[in-house]
Structure 1
Amino acid sequence: MYAIPQLKYTESGNFLLMAGPCAIESREVAFEIAERIQKITDKLEIPWIFKGSYRKANRTRLDSFTGIGDEKALQVLAEVSKHFGVPTVTDIHAAEEAAMAAAYVDVLQIPAFLCRQTDLLVAAAKTGKTINVKKGQFLSGSAMRFAVDKIRESGNPNIILTDRGNSFGYSDLVVDFRNIPDMQENKVPVLMDVTHSLQQPNQSSGVTGGKPELIGTIAKAAIAVGADGLFIETHPRPAEAKSDGANMLHLDKLEELLTVLVKIRKAVQ
């Protein structure tokens, strides 16, 4: 189902999980998070991919954290993969970044705001890596077929699509669960980005807000309607996170949530 090296438990029937911190803050934090998720997913037999952005290019304010350095962060991702035997995913923001990031990770992610950028999609496709395309907040699920076509026509069939809500007014998002079956019409796995869909962007402070108390609600609904997987940003100390702390799931709450979601998945099947 997923052409991703090192992906375990695909025969379990469980959903795929992409999880980790928003950004690579340090080797220590990345390893702390990966170790906890690994234990939980092994226990529940959930296939998972460690997520971490090597650089945050889409920031509201100039003084926002963007990263610890490209090569340093990418090396951390490579070390996580080797140490825990888990595939990794990171987002890229320009065509020239595709080959660089592909040397370190298993999955290249296209950010939602960039899902229509042809040069970026084609460059990512040509690496041969699995490509996870976030659906733009400004697009319907059915419109994502054009992103899929660009990648397939560039010679790469290994595609995942991820919903992350739709723009609603100026500072909120709303999740339209019709997007999941609409995107599945492309015969690719479809994930729900639970934590980003609960963002409240464009705040007057210049720092994105969020509603993490609804993470369970969105995750349960996504699995219930047939999503193939979930994307969840998590951190042991969200208040100290360098990026997106306002809408992250506290790492201590991950096992309880995933345990419930596994039961919902089995009931749906």
Structure 2
Amino acid sequence: MTEYLKSLFEGQDYDPNNFFLIAGPCVVESEALVSEIAEKVKAICQRQGIPYVFKASYKKANRTSASSFTGLGDELGLELIKKTGQKFGLPTTTDIHSEAEAALAAQYVDILQIPAFLCRQTELLVAAANTGKIVNIKKGQFVSGPSMQFAVDKVRKAGNEKVMLTERGTTFGYQDLVVDYRNIPWMAATGAPVVMDCTHSLQQPNQTTGVTGGNPQLIGTIAKAAIATGAHGLFIETHPDPSCALSDGANMLRLDLLEDLLAQLVRLRKAVL
């Protein structure tokens, strides 16, 4: 584990040989919801010895339909993420979409996440790098793993070595994604930790209903293959009742299924070390 990740997880009781987890709801729906998820996932991760980052989007800027829920308001959403992290002693992350958002979100979270569609936006990457925060760049659905070296270089050349990459699938036709697991070792060759997004990689975008579909029954399959191929971390969106989630419910993991899956993954991790 890199030094900046060790520092990020300082104070958590975990196995340093384990994978780390980035997990939470897709978007901040309410204070009660983010608090419930953070508390339960933290307890699970403590039992499994897994380093944990709480995640939630304070704003969803890339919805399919104009009628989709986008958030409670920027500052309120960010305040609730920060409050949740402080309450449970957890590092936090959220996604950003512009240079101005980089500066704003950096005041509230520990990791700035660059959405996949924006992974080539030089000014956004540089703005995120200039905050001094860890920058997590999601691989675009339209680019190869090796080409993400250029995104990493943009952050490093801006003077920030704290960068990691996330695989989230590749566009297959108009309404599906596939995961090429060669991308995990290819992206790891950049020297950046590599995360597998186990939920967004199962999306079925561009549905005629205007609501993205998904295959959450395959989350375990995606996660197990990622651990077996060397992923350093996993990204899982989870919710007590995905059918009622205000964003991306079709591809989220039900919260009560999380611990059993993580226990299996911990055993797998030990087997492949």
TM-score, length-scaled by structure 1: 0.98
Q: Deviations over 1:143-179 (max 9, x none)?
A: 0000000000000000110000000000000000000
* Structure 1 residues 157 and 9: alpha-carbon distance in aligned structure 2, compared to 1, 3 A threshold: farther
Q: Does the aligned pair in 1 maintain the 2:15–2:50 contact within 8 Å?
A: no
Counterpart in the other structure of 2:223? 219
CA distance in 2, matches of 1:10, 1:41: 8
Q: For 1:81, what is the secondary structure of its paired residue?
A: helix
Equivalent residue for 2:237, pick from 219, 233, 236:
233
CA distance in 2, matches of 1:163, 1:28: 30
Counting matched residue pairs gives 269
Equivalent residue for 1:12, pick from 16, 29, 50:
16
Give the 5 Å matches for 1:57-72: 57-72=61-76
What is the one-letter code of the residue matched to 1:30?
A: V
Counterpart in the other structure of 1:87? 91
Counterpart in the other structure of 1:245? 249
Q: Does 1:54 align with 2:58?
A: yes
Q: For 2:69, what is the secondary structure of its paired residue?
A: coil
Counterpart in the other structure of 2:106? 102
Counterpart in the other structure of 1:159? 163
Counterpart in the other structure of 2:122? 118
CA distance in 1, matches of 2:175, 2:87: 40
Q: Deviations over 1:17-61 (max 9, x none)?
A: 000000011110000000100100011110010010000000111
What is the one-letter code of the residue matched to 1:44?
A: Q
Q: Does 1:140 align with 2:144?
A: yes
Q: Does the aligned pair in 2 maintain the 1:173–1:197 contact within 8 Å?
A: yes
Q: Does 1:206 align with 2:199?
A: no
Offset of 1:12 from its aligned partner?
2.9
Offset of 1:2 from its aligned partner?
5.2
Structure 2: 5+ residue stretches without partners: none
Q: Does the aligned pair in 2 maintain the 1:6–1:85 contact within 8 Å?
A: no
CA distance in 2, matches of 1:12, 1:103: 28
CA RMSD in angstroms, aligned pairs only: 0.9
* Structure 1 residues 47 and 32: alpha-carbon distance in aligned structure 2, compared to 1, 3 A threshold: same
Offset of 1:3 from its aligned partner?
1.5
Q: Deviations over 1:47-85 (max 9, x none)?
A: 010010000000111110000000001000111111100
Counterpart in the other structure of 2:81? 77
Q: Does 1:258 align with 2:262?
A: yes
CA distance in 1, matches of 2:8, 2:45: 14
Q: For 2:166, what is the secondary structure of its paired residue?
A: strand
Equivalent residue for 2:179, pick from 175, 197, 200:
175
Offset of 1:10 from its aligned partner?
5.8
What is the one-letter code of the residue matched to 1:62?
A: A
Counterpart in the other structure of 2:43? 39
Q: For 2:4, what is the secondary structure of its paired residue?
A: coil
What is the one-letter code of the residue matched to 1:3?
A: Y
Q: Does the aligned pair in 1 maintain the 2:15–2:49 contact within 8 Å?
A: no
CA distance in 2, matches of 1:241, 1:177: 29
Q: Does the aligned pair in 2 maintain the 1:15–1:46 contact within 8 Å?
A: yes
Structure 1: 5+ residue stretches without partners: none
Offset of 1:6 from its aligned partner?
4.6
Offset of 1:9 from its aligned partner?
4.4
Q: For 2:113, what is the secondary structure of its paired residue?
A: strand
CA distance in 2, matches of 1:23, 1:2: 29
Equivalent residue for 2:26, pick from 5, 22, 26:
22
What is the one-letter code of the residue matched to 2:34?
A: A
CA distance in 1, matches of 2:132, 2:31: 27
TM-score, length-scaled by structure 2: 0.97
Q: For 2:220, what is the secondary structure of its paired residue?
A: helix
CA distance in 2, matches of 1:208, 1:61: 9
CA distance in 2, matches of 1:196, 1:222: 14
Offset of 1:87 from its aligned partner?
0.2
